[in-house]
A and B are shown apart, each in its own frame.
Chain A
Amino acid sequence: EDQVTQSPEALRLQEGESSSLNCSYTVSGLRGLFWYRQDPGKGPEFLFTLYSAGEEKEKERLKATLTKKESFLHITAPKPEDSATYLCAVAGGGGADGLTFGKGTHLIIQP
């Protein structure tokens, strides 16, 4: 059974204070790891897909990296508008169970 654990559950940062969010996963044959951002009352917004260990992707202040056991979402010099819940999900080798999501990291950026 695929499993995804995200840490920390919540994180409060000052504007401009860089940090990283962790996503640890257990999956039989990773077919893709996905990062989403979710604002209150809205559906998740797609950010990145990573397919193999060593892969990195960047978008504005966000950078996602992948190893064989975990992924990190690095946030550089965050702004208040980066406040959201960040979700990590995996697609396993079986493919029979859709995406498996972690519980998310609730990020608050204080001005």
Chain B
Amino acid sequence: KAGVTQTPRYLIKTRGQQVTLSCSPISGHRSVSWYQQTPGQGLQFLFEYFSETQRNKGNFPGRFSGRQFSNSRSEMNVSTLELGDSALYLCASSVGGRTYNEQFFGPGTRLTVL
């Protein structure tokens, strides 16, 4: 069974640009969550999508947004990039839409903002 895939694996952008990251969940999984991981803050929850609807949202500014498609694939977008947005962005999928289901993570997208 294929795992969670994320593309691209690495990105380099400059301040002010925008970026779109993609996530394909495990087949049959309908919930996709996004997390930001930095050395200082660790893993922080961005948002969760289930059946194309955003169910939960973490404490991040509106520059961070996402969406989910009918095939459960998800994208997240960061507009007006700042240096502090440099991080590993992780996508996780689970079977149901509740956070107490096991979440399985992808390899992440490493974003560097210059």
Contacts and interface: CB of A to CB of B under 8 A. Distances in A.
Interface of A: 31-32, 34, 36, 42-46, 49, 51, 87, 89, 91, 95-104
A100 B100 CA distance: 11
B102 A31 contact: no
Contacts, number: 67
B4 A91 contact: no
B62 interface: no
Contacts of A31: 98-100
A51 B45 CA distance: 20
Classify the secondary structure of A's interface with B: loop
Given A31-B99, A32-B100, A91-B100, A96 B105 contact: no
A32 B99 contact: yes
A11 to B, nearest CB: 17
A99 B105 contact: no
27 contacts: A31-B99, A32-B101, A42-B108, A43-B90, A43-B105, A43-B107, A44-B90, A46-B103, A46-B105, A49-B100, A51-B100, A91-B98, A91-B99, A91-B100, A95-B56, A95-B98, A96-B56, A97-B45, A97-B58, A97-B59, A98-B35, A98-B45, A98-B46, A99-B43, A99-B99, A100-B45, A101-B43
B102 A46 contact: yes
Contacts of B43: 44, 87, 89, 99, 101
B71 to A, nearest CB: 21
B45 A99 contact: yes
B4 A98 contact: no
Contacts of A97: 45, 56, 58-59
Contacts of A103: 42
A10 to B, nearest CB: 13
